[in-house]
Amino acid sequence: MMIKTLINNRSLIVLFLLLSNLVFSQGLKEVPLHSNQVLISKWEEAKNTKAYFFRPHISAAIDLNTTQFLDDFSNNGPFPDTTLWLDCSVFVNRNYPVAPPTIGVATFDGVNSHGYPYNFQAGITSSQVADTLTSKRILLNLKTPADSIYLSFYCQPQGRGNSPEPADSLVLEFRETRLDSVHINDTLGVIHQNVPIWNPTQQMFNFAMVDSFIVHSWDSVFIKEVWQHMWSSPGSLLPSDSSWKQVMVPITDTAFFKSTFQFRFKNYATISGNGDQWNLDNVYLNKSRHINDTILQDVAFVYDLPSLLHPYYSMPWRHYDTAFMKHSLITYYRNNDLASYPNVTRVYSLFDPSGDVIFSNSPGDSKNDTSYFLTGYFDYNIAALPMILDTITVPSAYKFEIDISSTTGNSNIIHQNDTLRHVQSFSNYFAYDDGTAESAFALDATLIGELAEKFTTTVPDTLQAIDIYFNPLWHDASLYEGAFNLRIWADAGGQPGALLYSGDPSTPWYNQLEYAPDHFKRFHIPPHFMSPGSFFIGFFQNTSQELSIGVDKNTNSQDKIYYNTTGTWYNSPYPGSLMMRPVFGTQAECTGVAEQPKNSLSLTVYPNPANDKLFLKFNSSKSDKLSYSIMDMFGRTVAANQLSGNNSEETVDISSLSEGVYFVRLNSGQNTTTTKFIKIK
């Protein structure tokens, strides 16, 4: 009864929050991501280059007698440091945390190391074990509780991602290896089995044997590995709870003082999407510590360098002039020590593509730096780059890169968090986003509506295409053809005004194989001449199937995002930048990832998900030479065959396929069409 009451109360609270959010946004809502496109792209790269991105050094153990275990995840990932960790399911990044102790975190979520959900069929309210982060073996065999060994770390729920709910949690476990039993053959061939008792004084196992036996090499020794729960933290119903918590865990049990000691973190989450995030930072294990040993001598950057442009993160080269270059650059760094560091220096350098220095400056120190450090652990020191960027002359080129680096000096325990680097690229599109999504916006599925984002051009140019990052949350909207119409609006006092262009019904294609690994899909439009000025791009949602668009939470173009589900345009109530980009230039310059080509060939698969048989329903003439191929998520062909062409439906045996996501492609001469299905048990 108590459990039922708790579930009912939780459901009522969640329902209240969802209804409040819906009323407040009047049809626009923020939703989690479905996958992690950074990891998907990385593994696609591995498949194409035959490279391996994660090979842990499993042979050598970490000797706590001579070194320490310390990781602040500032290596910029996306996988953990192989000299410290044995698995790679967490996402090492600089995008998800809010105000971390040092730049970079390990993010736990509901997707695997390849960026896809662990189980596409898991319920959206379920919570199961998802990511793990397991340390290498650590030598504690010469240690005792008197050595005062502590493991400390910082954790943050949600960050810029999705809030873990009360049923979700982050867990810490210690691994103990026990000698479970010994089988000894006596002279008569009789097997004796006894459970050993560990003697910590003699550092050996004692056996309560009826007779005395000598253990030989042919006798069997059975090892038992036990993971003991040491600490955990539940999620919260408050989506704004993104505070950092430092945890100190002493190692006092003598059962852990062996050469096989390990620790691991794991999270419980909804494993059908990229949500329920936890961020982990500054994992530190060492001897000679105490409960108040919470400070690291480290001055570290907190965030990556921002774009040098304003308001865009990237823009077409032909539209650039010095008015779009920031007057100054702001960086954030933190003193993680209690002591002041009056000698911290900051050096900024700009390089051109050939590596030559365009500009270099050392701002030096100020009295404010020292006093600011003393105000507390979680305070920032905000450093403005004291130079006028918009006076720098850059070479005339279609694509030009500016490389800027910054350093805080070298008087730190961790050096890799002291330097930042940013490459400023100019392409053929405008973008407010930095290319990675931490969340998504969606129009309510019960409301037909429009979503738009504002851009401004400086020279006459031709709009050739619109790039959109569609996020397939909980369902695959690409199965619904013609779900939206691309649209362009004039600017009417800062809101979408007169409709300048409305395209034919289009399909929200996701990360299909022929377009991988890019998560933006390019939808070409008839060349549309744009005079200098402001305009809006977006789409009209003409289906009850919810369309979800990726959102970058590290940049904010909230004031330029509008939606309309009631006949009136409203400004977005949520911060972030929609991942929609207008693409300009000639047709040749816009060649790239294209939308699914329109052809007369159509394919429907059912049931979806499927168990042992998959039915392919298609349209064709008797003269068509049809064939199909089935590929896994990494592009490997797992089945292929010819079709007769005399039927409009074929049955394919998929009983031998393992569980997961697959793509079936139908080929007919020059025409192809692809759709996705899920194989289940």
**What pLDDT, in 10s, does the model give residues 263-294?**
999 999 999 889 999 999 999 999 999 999 98
Q: Radius of gyration (Cα) for the chain, nearest Å?
A: 29
642 backbone dihedrals φ, ψ, rounded to 5°? -90, 150
The answer to the question of residue 654 being in a domain is: yes
**Do 330 and 351 reside in the same domain of the chain?**
yes
- Examine the pLDDT at 182 and tell me if it is beyond 70: no
What is the DSSP-derived secondary structure letter of residue 4?
H
Burial label, 283 (beta-carbon count in 10 A; 0-12, 13-18, 19+)? buried
pLDDT, position 142: 76
The answer to the question of residue 172 being in a domain is: yes
- 113-137 burial, b at 16+ Cβ within 10 Å, e below that, comes to bbbbbbbbebeeebbbebbbbbbbb
Asked if the peptide bond before residue 573 counts as cis, ω within 30 degrees of 0, the response is no
CB 299 within 8 A of CB 409: yes
- Examine the pLDDT at 220 and tell me if it is beyond 70: no
**Do 343 and 390 reside in the same domain of the chain?**
yes
Q: Residue 113 is part of which domain span?
A: 32-176+224-294
pLDDT, position 378: 36
Once rounded to an integer, what is the mean pLDDT over residues 569-590? 89
* pLDDT band at residue 418 under the 50/70/90 scheme: confident
Q: Which two tokens stand for residue 430?
A: 């405008």
| CA 54 remoteness from chain centre | 17
- Distance between CA 408 and CA 482 in Å, rounded? 52
Once rounded to an integer, what is the mean pLDDT over residues 475-494? 84
- Examine the pLDDT at 417 and tell me if it is beyond 80: yes
What is the largest distance, in Å, between two alpha-carbon atoms of the chain?
Answer: 98
The whole-model pTM stands at: 0.77
3-class secondary structure, 168: coil
- Examine the pLDDT at 155 and tell me if it is beyond 90: yes
pLDDT, position 414: 80
Handedness of CA 277, 432, 561, 478 (dihedral sign): negative
- Examine the pLDDT at 242 and tell me if it is beyond 80: no
Once rounded to an integer, what is the mean pLDDT over residues 84-105? 93
- Examine the pLDDT at 377 and tell me if it is beyond 50: no
The answer to the question of residue 7 being in a domain is: no
**Do 464 and 364 reside in the same domain of the chain?**
no
pLDDT, position 409: 60
User: Which has more confidence, 64 or 631?
Assistant: 64
Q: What is the CATH number of the domain that holds 393?
A: 2.60.40
User: Which has more confidence, 131 or 448?
Assistant: 131
pLDDT, position 352: 66
Burial label, 580 (beta-carbon count in 10 A; 0-12, 13-18, 19+)? buried
**Do 350 and 469 reside in the same domain of the chain?**
no
Q: Which two tokens stand for residue 447?
A: 């409301």
Q: How far is CA 33 from CA 230, 517, 617, in A?
A: 31, 17, 31
The answer to the question of residue 341 being in a domain is: yes
pLDDT, position 180: 56
- Examine the pLDDT at 607 and tell me if it is beyond 60: yes
**Do 164 and 241 reside in the same domain of the chain?**
yes
pLDDT, position 405: 66
- Examine the pLDDT at 659 and tell me if it is beyond 90: no
**H or E element, residue 563:** strand 561-564
Cα angle, residue 64 at apex, residues 61 and 66 outer, rounded to 5°:
100
The answer to the question of residue 379 being in a domain is: yes
**Do 526 and 460 reside in the same domain of the chain?**
yes
pLDDT, position 635: 58
- Distance between CA 257 and CA 242 in Å, rounded? 35
* pLDDT band at residue 497 under the 50/70/90 scheme: very high
Least confident of 190-204, 229-243, 454-468, 613-627: 190-204
* pLDDT band at residue 195 under the 50/70/90 scheme: very low
* pLDDT band at residue 204 under the 50/70/90 scheme: very low
Query: What's the start-to-end Cα distance of the chain, in Å?
Result: 34
- Examine the pLDDT at 413 and tell me if it is beyond 80: no
**Do 661 and 542 reside in the same domain of the chain?**
no
- Distance between CA 99 and CA 109 in Å, rounded? 19
Once rounded to an integer, what is the mean pLDDT over residues 78-96? 93
- Among residues 135, 78, 105, 150, the alpha carbon closest in space to that of 300 is found at 105
Asked if the peptide bond before residue 78 counts as cis, ω within 30 degrees of 0, the response is yes
Q: Pick from 235, 268, 294: which residue ends a domain?
A: 294
Least confident of 67-71, 351-355, 447-451: 351-355
pLDDT, position 388: 46
CB 223 within 8 A of CB 178: yes
* pLDDT band at residue 363 under the 50/70/90 scheme: low
Once rounded to an integer, what is the mean pLDDT over residues 235-261? 83
- Examine the pLDDT at 432 and tell me if it is beyond 90: yes
pLDDT, position 13: 36
**Do 237 and 134 reside in the same domain of the chain?**
yes
- pLDDT mean across residues, the chain: 77
User: Which has more confidence, 185 or 409?
Assistant: 409
**Do 289 and 307 reside in the same domain of the chain?**
no
Cα angle, residue 676 at apex, residues 274 and 485 outer, rounded to 5°:
80
Q: Pick from 539, 559, 590: which residue ends a domain?
A: 590
pLDDT digits (tens, 9 = 90+) for 18-44: 333 433 456 899 988 988 988 888 887
pLDDT, position 675: 78
pLDDT digits (tens, 9 = 90+) for 555-567: 999 999 999 988 8
Q: Pick from 590, 617, 649: which residue ends a domain?
A: 590
**Do 44 and 149 reside in the same domain of the chain?**
yes
Strand order in the sheet with 402-407: 357-361, 347-351, 402-407, 419-424
Q: Are strands 484-492 and 533-541 parallel, antiparallel or unpaired?
A: antiparallel
- Distance between CA 471 and CA 466 in Å, rounded? 16
Least confident of 23-27, 231-235, 295-299, 393-397: 393-397
Once rounded to an integer, what is the mean pLDDT over residues 481-499? 93
pLDDT, position 620: 64
pLDDT, position 658: 83
Q: What is the CATH number of the domain that holds 609?
A: 2.60.40.1930
**Do 545 and 609 reside in the same domain of the chain?**
no
* pLDDT band at residue 597 under the 50/70/90 scheme: very low
The answer to the question of residue 207 being in a domain is: no
pLDDT, position 385: 46
pLDDT, position 384: 46
Q: How far is CA 226 from CA 173, 174, 178, in A?
A: 10, 8, 8
- Examine the pLDDT at 358 and tell me if it is beyond 90: no
Domains contained in the chain, number: 4
Q: Which residue reads 């911060």 in tokens?
A: 575
Asked if the peptide bond before residue 517 counts as cis, ω within 30 degrees of 0, the response is yes
**Do 363 and 306 reside in the same domain of the chain?**
yes
The answer to the question of residue 188 being in a domain is: no
- Distance between CA 626 and CA 667 in Å, rounded? 6
User: Quick one: CA torsion of 642, 646, 647, 648, rounded to 10 degrees?
Assistant: 90
Once rounded to an integer, what is the mean pLDDT over residues 507-520? 57
pLDDT, position 434: 93
The answer to the question of residue 231 being in a domain is: yes
Q: Which two tokens stand for residue 570?
A: 């409203």
Q: How far is CA 250 from CA 77, 139, 150, 161, 264, in A?
A: 29, 16, 4, 31, 15
Most confident of the following: 102-106, 122-126, 256-260, 520-524: 102-106
- Examine the pLDDT at 178 and tell me if it is beyond 90: no
* pLDDT band at residue 610 under the 50/70/90 scheme: confident
Least confident of 285-299, 541-555, 623-637: 623-637
- Distance between CA 226 and CA 223 in Å, rounded? 10
- Examine the pLDDT at 161 and tell me if it is beyond 80: yes
* pLDDT band at residue 240 under the 50/70/90 scheme: low
Beta strands in 342-494 (DSSP E): 347-351, 357-361, 381-384, 402-407, 419-424, 439-443, 449-457, 461-468, 484-492
Q: What is the CATH number of the domain that holds 287?
A: 2.60.120.260
